[in-house]
Amino acid sequence: MAGLVISDRILGRDLGASLRNRFKRSLEEEFTECDGRILPIRSEFTSLTITP
């Protein structure tokens, strides 16, 4: 997402705005634990996670 925001600024576009809410919702639903920790890696096959 950060790369898209930077690209938008350089090229004068606003594509990141259309994806921002979807990205935030997916991050919260799929990569955040109940206590608020972000999980950088989650295996869809095994559901194993790696916590920093």
pLDDT value of position 46: 74
| Structural domain total, the chain | 1
pLDDT value of position 33: 82
9: left (phi over 0), alpha (psi -120 to 50) or beta: alpha
Neighbours of 32 (CB within 10 A): 13
pLDDT by residue for the chain (52 residues), tens digit each?
889 999 999 999 999 988 999 999 988 888 888 888 887 777 767 766 766 6
pLDDT value of position 47: 67
pLDDT value of position 40: 75
Full domain range(s) for residue 13: 2-50
C-beta of residue 40 within 8 angstroms of C-beta of residue 32: no
